[in-house]
């Protein structure tokens, strides 16, 4: 069933549970992700990043994602990930997305807050903001990491009225070079200043279970996963399949297996 991220994330945050937000790029990924969510009876977010749209157009992906969520037997929110362009944010809202992430992390904190609150006018219930810059990117040019400043995070969150906040604490999109080194001191300070605001950890692929267990105790309730699913899709597609139908099933199955593993971890570290 299609729901607002609020329906999933507000109780998860209160109860200290981690929710998976899985990015998709095609039909098979979407099917694999939702098959796993249904099997584990886990509410999830299904997301597509703006940078992915040249390869997977929103006009095609959006209705498919929204309808897949509607038909799912578990609550599923559909969210635009790293939205920057006003026209893309408006298109996602018009297509029935229930969450929008505005990524103004490259802007000054004031401008970021101003533009984040302007997204509210699109009438979508749930707005995710970001403060600090993550290393790596969702299909775009590599960015240098810039840790979130707790004071700025507080000012930004209060000025923008965002419903949840993505933090940059050493997490990165793509594959980590070595073991991820998350700065829990920064996370703890952000959570201390904003105790009622759900926090989001991007760059979920490759973050060890022990780190997830620490993060969920410090306000993180949503973890974004993209690379693991795209890798799984590629792996599924790389096995000799024989015909298109077997290929399609192999891709969905591989993403399903990867998503099952992530959801199992999120379940294990949740209260
Ligand atoms: P990964 O690609 O590291 O899984 O990160 C996904 C993400 O944060 C999407 O916004």
* Number of helices and strands in the chain (H, E): 10, 8
Per-residue confidence (pLDDT) for residue 171, from 0 to 100: 93
Q: Which residues pair with 166 in a beta bridge?
A: 130, 200
Distance 242 CA to ligand 1 centre (A): 32
Per-residue confidence (pLDDT) for residue 138, from 0 to 100: 54
Distance 258 CA to ligand 1 centre (A): 14
Which of 81, 103, 163, 211 is labelled catalytic? 81
Q: What is the pLDDT along the chain (271 residues), one digit of tens a residue?
A: 999 999 999 999 999 999 999 999 999 999 999 999 999 999 999 999 999 999 999 999 999 999 999 999 999 999 999 999 999 999 999 999 999 999 998 899 999 999 999 999 999 999 999 998 877 655 444 556 689 999 999 999 999 999 999 999 999 999 998 889 999 999 999 999 999 999 999 999 999 999 999 999 999 999 999 999 999 999 999 988 799 999 999 999 999 999 999 999 999 999 8
Which protein residue has the closest C-alpha to ligand 1 atom 5? 203
Known active-site residue 81: yes
Q: How many CB atoms lie within 10 A of CB 158?
A: 13
Instruction: Tell which one of 21, 25, 226, 259 to mutate to probe ligand 1, the residue whose CB is within 8 A of the most ligand atoms.
Output: 226
Two tokens, residue 269: 């570290």
Distance 75 CA to ligand 1 centre (A): 21
Q: Which residues contact 19 (CB under 8 A, 6 or more apart)?
A: 8, 9, 12, 42, 43, 44, 45, 221, 222, 223, 266
Which protein residue has the closest C-alpha to ligand 1 atom 1? 203
Distance 134 CA to ligand 1 centre (A): 10
Instruction: Tell which one of 18, 23, 81, 172 to mutate to probe ligand 1, the residue whose CB is within 8 A of the most ligand atoms.
Output: 23
Nearest to 52, CA basis, from 23, 93, 73, 86: 23
């Amino acid at each position: 069933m299609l729901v607002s991220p609020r329906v999933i994330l507000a109780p998860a945050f209160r109860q200290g549970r981690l929710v998976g937000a899985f990015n998709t790029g095609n039909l098979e990924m979407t099917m694999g992700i939702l098959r796993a969510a249904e099997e584990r009876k886990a509410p999830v977010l299904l997301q597509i990043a703006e940078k992915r749209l040249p390869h997977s157009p929103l006009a095609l992906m959006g209705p498919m994602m929204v309808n897949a969520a509607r038909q799912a037997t578990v609550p599923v929110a559909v969210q635009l990930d790293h939205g920057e362009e006003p026209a893309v944010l408006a298109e996602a809202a018009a297509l029935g997305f229930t969450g929008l992430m505005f990524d103004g992390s490259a802007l000054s904190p004031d401008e970021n807050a101003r533009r984040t609150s302007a997204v509210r006018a699109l009438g979508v219930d749930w707005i995710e903001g970001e403060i600090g810059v993550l290393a790596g990117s969702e299909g775009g040019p590599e960015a240098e990491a810039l840790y979130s400043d707790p004071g700025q995070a507080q000012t930004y969150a209060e000025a923008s009225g965002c419903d949840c906040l993505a933090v940059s604490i050493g997490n990165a999109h793509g594959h980590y070079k070595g073991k991820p080194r998350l700065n829990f001191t920064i996370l703890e300070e952000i959570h201390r200043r904003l105790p009622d605001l759900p926090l989001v950890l991007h760059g979920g692929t490759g973050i060890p279970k022990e780190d997830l267990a620490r993060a969920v105790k410090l306000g993180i309730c949503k973890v974004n996963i993209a690379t693991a699913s795209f890798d799984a899709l590629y792996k599924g597609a790389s096995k000799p399949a024989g015909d298109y139908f077997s290929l399609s099933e192999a891709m969905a199955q591989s993403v399903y297996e990867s998503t099952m593993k992530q959801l199992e971890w999120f379940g294990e570290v949740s209260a």
